[in-house]
Amino acid sequence: MRAPTIPEAGPAAPPAPARPAGSRLGYLDATRAFALLLGVVFHASLSFMPVFMGWAVQDVSTSSLVWIFVLVSHSFRMEVFFLLAGFFARGALHRHGLRHFAGTRAVRLLVPFVVGWFVLTPLLYSGWIMGSASLRGDYDFWAAVAAGFQSLRGLPEGLFIRTHLWFLYYLVMITGLALAGRGLLQLTGGWGDRLARAADVTVAWLADSRFALPGLVAPTALILWGMRGWSVDTPDRSLWPEYPVLLLFGGCYGLGWLLHRQRELIGRFTRLTPERGVLALLGIMGAVILSGFERDIGHPHRTAAHLGFAVSYALMMWTLVLLVIGVFRKTCEHPHAAIRYFADSSYWLYLVHLPVVVWLQVAVAEVELRWALKLAFISGATVFLGLISYDLVVRSTFLGWILNGQRHERVLPRLLARIRRPG
């Protein structure tokens, strides 16, 4: 069986001007939920790639459109997540204090990471077992699940999980680095204050300058040049950090942290303009066209193509990060119960989705239907099952407190009562 490989500070500033009540829940939480739910569709699409990439199974129906979707969505969804994670982290730190913040982050990140290693990893391995057996025309679901849990008898190669839970590990590392950096700057007194003011000036410049995108794209392209592959690597091979990935996501987290120091800037930073839309299209086109050179090791212009791809990919990344947040700021600024529910459930959905996705991919791989129909079914069924399980066993229980910091009333009983109500 082949193990799965998946292709989500400074000293305290004076209080920022108050934003309208509910503005965070109206669009920032909605944006984060979108980034995580997009991950469900991203993973659901991998079995429909036109070139086999070591996934659990390759569907009988594939499409090059799926490859483009994978390339584009992989370029920005986790960057959005880490940027907003930094934004929310500083807010939580300044609302509750360092001790409470460190304790809650340890519970919300480390507990799912450790428990997920023992529960989700074997379930995911079972999907690879099913995929291998499906090539022979038959597989036993429960036998595969049992075999997946048998993998816990020994430590996996590289002492890591090779699942989507890597994002929790990196979020823990980056949060620790942010707190350490913040503490060091506070110890330096006036020098730290000057550095914090310089960071504020830089972020304000990024929010308003026409040269902001080059200022983001250039260092990002340099980081991409240091990746194992041409696009953003998935750092799921070892507990030893992959420094280019750590630098990229740490930079996104740090930018979100600094944006929270001047919360009024996020509207200007993520403004929607025709120019950004055009640049996003140019970045996508460049990345799609130049990505074909990655496999052509002997091409005489491969190095130039790699450089062009890194710049195009970085341009695609940052324009899409800004545009996605800007779209949600325009469309979801006011609180809405359904949006809040998806925001609350998105963490649970992302944690548990991958085994379900792989099981469904294996189940429909040989069914003679168009890839788009099967992709919609896998994504929709996974989200539906995730929402049901969230409402039944998470939302109002201690699991909800672990993941979201508080328990909420279940919604499903009220919906059923409303359906049964006469008239």
Decide if 403 is inside a domain: no
pLDDT of the residue at 274: 93
pLDDT of the residue at 422: 58
pLDDT of the residue at 162: 66
Contact partners, residue 406, CB within 8 Å, separation at least 6: 400
Query: Percentage helix, strand, coil, to 5, in the chain?
Result: 70, 0, 30
Q: What is the DSSP letter of 300?
A: T
Q: What is the DSSP letter of 108?
A: I
Decide if 391 is inside a domain: no
**CA R_g for the chain:** 22
Q: Are 8 and 77 in contact (CB under 8 A)?
A: yes
Per-residue pLDDT tens listing for the chain (423 residues) = 444 444 433 344 444 444 443 344 478 988 999 999 999 999 999 999 998 888 889 999 999 999 999 999 999 999 999 999 999 999 999 888 889 898 988 999 999 988 888 888 889 888 888 888 877 767 778 888 888 888 777 655 544 556 788 899 999 999 999 999 888 888 887 787 888 889 899 999 998 888 899 999 999 999 999 999 899 998 887 788 899 999 999 999 999 999 999 988 988 899 999 999 999 999 999 999 998 888 878 888 889 999 999 999 999 999 999 999 999 998 887 777 888 888 889 999 999 999 999 999 999 998 899 999 999 999 999 999 999 999 999 988 988 888 888 888 887 777 777 777 655
Decide if 406 is inside a domain: no
Contact partners, residue 327, CB within 8 Å, separation at least 6: 272
As for how many domains the chain has, the answer is 1
pLDDT of the residue at 157: 52
Contact partners, residue 139, CB within 8 Å, separation at least 6: 129, 130, 133, 362
Please state, in angstroms and rounded to a whole number, the distance separating the CA atoms of residues 34 and 81. 9
Decide if 377 is inside a domain: no
Please state, in angstroms and rounded to a whole number, the distance separating the CA atoms of residues 339 and 30. 6
Q: Are 368 and 137 in contact (CB under 8 A)?
A: no
**H-only helix segments in 291-336:** 302-331
Domain that includes residue 50, residue range? 23-369
Decide if 159 is inside a domain: yes
Please state, in angstroms and rounded to a whole number, the distance separating the CA atoms of residues 209 and 201. 12
pLDDT of the residue at 423: 52
Decide if 374 is inside a domain: no
Please state, in angstroms and rounded to a whole number, the distance separating the CA atoms of residues 98 and 180. 11
Instruction: Establish how many alpha carbons lie within 13 A of residue 265's alpha carbon, considering only the half-sphere containing its beta carbon.
Output: 21
Please state, in angstroms and rounded to a whole number, the distance separating the CA atoms of residues 412 and 17. 38
Decide if 2 is inside a domain: no
3-state secondary structure of 6: coil
Global pTM? 0.88
Decide if 15 is inside a domain: no
Neighbour-count burial of 186, counting CB atoms closer than 10 A to its CB (0-12 exposed, 13-18 middle, 19+ buried)? middle
